[in-house]
């Protein structure tokens, strides 16, 4: 017997944060690049950027910091 579960945060029926976004943030922390993180997770840059931006907008805070030409890192 296996017990399986999924946990996510919702606000007004919209996903704020779940397992997929957690995996994306872990990959960003490891790779220090959104493009490299997206490749690691076999997703397009556009899909990764969209998920990250949607979570930031819905949560009302920045999840990553990035300056042009520098590495990306998590804010907390």
Residue 2 has φ and ψ, to the nearest 5°, of -120, 140
CB count, 10 Å around CB of 48? Answer: 22
Mean pLDDT value across residues 19-46: 95
Q: What is the pLDDT of residue 10?
A: 84
Contact in structure between 67 and 49 (CB atoms under 8 Å): no
In this prediction, residue 40 carries a pLDDT of 97
Distance, in Å, from the CA atom of 65 to the CA atom of 63, rounded to the nearest integer, reads 7
pLDDT at 29: 95
And the tokens for 11?
């606000």
Tens digits of residue pLDDT in 33-75: 999 999 999 999 999 999 999 989 988 899 999 877 779 989 9
CB 63 within 8 A of CB 25: yes
Evaluate whether 53 touches 64 at the Cβ level (below 8 Å). Answer: no
The predicted structure's pLDDT at residue 33: 93
Q: Which CATH code for domain 16-74?
A: 1.10.10.10
């Amino acid at each position: 017997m296996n017990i399986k579960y999924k946990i996510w945060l919702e606000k007004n029926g919209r996903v704020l944060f779940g397992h997929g976004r957690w995996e994306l943030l872990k990959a960003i922390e490891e790779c220090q690049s959104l493009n490299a993180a997206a490749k690691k997770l076999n997703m397009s840059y556009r899909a990764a950027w969209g998920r990250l931006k949607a979570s930031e907008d819905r949560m009302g805070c920045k999840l990553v910091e990035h300056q042009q030409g520098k590495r990306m890192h998590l804010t907390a």
